[in-house]
Every structure is written in C-alpha cells, then in structure tokens.
C-alpha cells in the first residue's frame, strides 16, 4: 500500500499529536492533503495542530483523549472513520517520561509512564486492528527509540516501556504473518529529538534536562515516519547515533553499561538550574507548546534513515570480520612458534 494507490486523501490517526514529534508528523502528512485524527489531552495544542494542518491543505479532527483510556480511544477512532472514512494509517506516538534516578521515582509515576508509553501503544494498536483487519489493509507505525534497545540512566520507566513496546511489536508481527495479513507494520527508532518534552517532563534532577547526544529536529523524525507508513519494512533507524547505540548494545552490552554509567547522567543535563514547574505526567499543561524545544541552535535538520535489516547486516559483518581478524592473528602467531 502506498499513498499513490489512493483515489482519496489518506485517513491518518496520530496519538500524542498536540506537540513535539506527533505535531511534526501531522504537518508532514498534511502536505499530502491527508485527513488526520489528532489525539492528545491538550485541547489548545490540538487546535494549534489543526490550524497548521489546514494551512498545509489537509483536514483535521481534534480529539482530546488520554490514550490510557481504551474506551475513549476506541470511540475517538470511530469518530475519525465517521468523519473521514476508513483509517489507512495509525501512528502510535504518545509518550511521557520521568527524568531521575530510579530510587527517586515514585511508583505511581513509574506506572503512569508505563501506562501512557506502553499501554497507550497497545490500546492504539487494538483500535487500529479492530478496523483494519476486516478490510485486510492499513498501516500501523510505532514511534520507537534507540532506547528500546539500550536503556540509559535517569529514564528507567521510559526505557522499560519502550523495551516492552518492542517485545509487543515482535509478537504482533509474527501473528500477522501467521494470519497472512496484508496489514503493514513498522517501527521507527529515533535518536534524541528537540521537542517540547524537555520543558514539560517531570524532572527530578538538579538541572534542566536535554536530549542525550546529538540532537535532531522533530521534522527529521516526522519525515521518517511518513516514509515508513508506506512500507512493511520491520524497522527504520533515524540518525547515526541511533544506529551506533543499537549496534553497540548488541555487540558490547557490558562496555555500554560502563560508558553510559560514566557519561549519560551528565549528558542529559544542561547548565541551567531545574525549574520544577508544572509537568504533563498526569494532566496536560495548558497552552499551545508547538513542536520544537529549546535546542534549535544545536539540533540537526537532516539525518540518515536506514532500514533495520541494513543495520543488522552491518552488525553481522562486523562480528564476522572481527572473528576472521582474530583467527588470522592467532594462526599467524602459532605458525611463528
């Protein structure tokens, strides 16, 4: 299925659409005049997204819903189909996080991150499949992270949830294969992105937070998601840091433990004192926060996008090459004796 096959504009649903990556994804789909169901809690942000979509030639339906409420999410999906027709693409993007050492994170906070980031993805997928499976067509995009493969300090709840999404996604794809389904699924693994979440996240640190490592603009992620929606490729990795992180976690997990333990705590802090203002963990923060964070001067506007199969092949080649090199060295050493 590709967008060229549609005689009508595509119907797209995006969760977490009021700000950040979700809002950038909405703008990218609007460029092809898509009809978009916008799901998030923040009414003002959703209205801002709607205006942007309409200015770009798309149509939008504002749906203020918490993705942890399955019944409300399912009703929102029905409203999208009643308004725009069958859902062609569903993007699971909603997330939240708590930044702090695990010892400082309350269990109600941990559970909330899990409910939004993991269960919200599961609920969204259920809503999408309920409508796509009878038609045996459609596309579901999972917005993932390099942290789905490699957990880092200060983000135990978020990393755990993204790992859970990865496991759920593996099982789902295998089931769809078993069912000979034509529904397409893909997961887009992202690097650090310059979004509003770093002003809105619950922060237990002494400094204001920042994305880890090289930072990319949300439009880089959005373009990758729209591309992925037209494919059944298993995964896409966005940005060189995501590729490096995923390969490193597979080849050198112990070394990554040490490296991240030494660098990742300070690497997620700015020099600015923490403000500890209102956060979006349990309820929306009023106002239209847009899609960009405070790191425009540091963020890259482009980055590589590669298929996961390419990265896996590269990983295998590196392992094979290392084994061959070590074998050659050992053999040469023995022959000189």
Report the catalytic residues. 158
Which tokens in the block code for residue 319? 């392992």
For Cα atoms 99, 163, 192, give the angle at the middle one, nearest 5 degrees: 50
Burial of 169 (0-12, 13-18, 19+ CB in 10 A): buried
Nearest to 8 by CA among 42, 58, 45: 58
CA distances from 247 to 52, 237, 242, 250, 263 (A): 37, 11, 9, 5, 18
Q: What's the CA gap between 312 and 14, in Å, rounded?
A: 29
Query: What CA–CA distances, in Å, run from 74 to 34, 153, 181?
Result: 21, 35, 22
3-state helix, strand, coil in the chain (%, to 5): 50, 15, 35
DSSP conformation class of 115: I
Could you write out the three-class secondary structure of 243-263? HHHHHHHHHCHHHHHHHHHHH
3-class secondary structure, 32: coil
Distance, in Å, from the CA atom of 20 to the CA atom of 291, rounded to the nearest integer, reads 4
User: How crowded is residue 321: how many other Cβ atoms within 10 Å of its Cβ?
Assistant: 10
Instruction: Give me the sign of the Cα torsion angle 220, 308, 121, 147.
Output: negative
* DSSP code at position 119: I
Q: Say how far residue 308 (Cα) sits from the centre of its chain.
A: 15
């Amino acid at each position: 299925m590709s967008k060229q096959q549609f005689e009508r504009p595509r119907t797209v649903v995006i969760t977490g659409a009021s700000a950040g990556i979700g809002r950038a994804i909405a703008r990218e789909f609007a460029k092809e005049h898509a009809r978009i169901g916008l799901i998030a809690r923040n009414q003002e942000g959703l209205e801002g997204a709607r205006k942007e979509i309409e200015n770009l030639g798309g149509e939008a339906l504002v749906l203020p819903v918490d993705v942890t409420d399955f019944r409300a999410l399912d009703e929102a999906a029905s409203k999208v189909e009643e308004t725009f027709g069958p859902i062609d693409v569903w993007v699971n993007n909603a997330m939240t996080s708590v930044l702090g050492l695990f010892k400082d994170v309350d269990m109600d906070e941990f559970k909330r991150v899990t409910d939004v980031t993991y269960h919200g993805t599961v609920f969204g997928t259920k809503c999408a499949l309920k409508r796509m499976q009878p038609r045996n067509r459609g596309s579901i995009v999972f917005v993932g992270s390099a942290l789905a493969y490699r957990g880092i300090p200060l983000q135990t709840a978020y990393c755990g949830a993204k790992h859970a999404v990865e496991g759920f996604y593996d099982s789902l794809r295998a089931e769809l294969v078993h069912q000979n389904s034509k529904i397409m699924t893909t997961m887009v693994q992202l690097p650090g992105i310059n979004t509003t979440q770093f002003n809105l996240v619950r922060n237990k640190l002494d400094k204001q937070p920042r994305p880890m490592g090289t930072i990319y603009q949300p439009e880089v992620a959005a373009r990758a998601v729209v591309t992925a929606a037209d494919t059944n490729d298993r995964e896409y990795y966005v940005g060189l840091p995501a590729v490096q992180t995923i390969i490193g976690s597979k080849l050198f997990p112990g070394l990554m433990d040490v490296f991240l333990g030494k660098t990742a705590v300070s690497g997620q802090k700015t020099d600015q004192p923490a403000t500890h203002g209102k956060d979006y963990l349990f309820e929306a923060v009023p106002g239209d926060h847009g899609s960009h964070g405070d790191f425009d001067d540091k963020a890259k506007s482009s980055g590589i996008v590669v298929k996961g199969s390419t990265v896996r092949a590269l990983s295998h080649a590196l392992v094979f090459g290392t084994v061959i090199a070590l074998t050659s060295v050992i053999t040469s050493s023995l022959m000189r004796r």
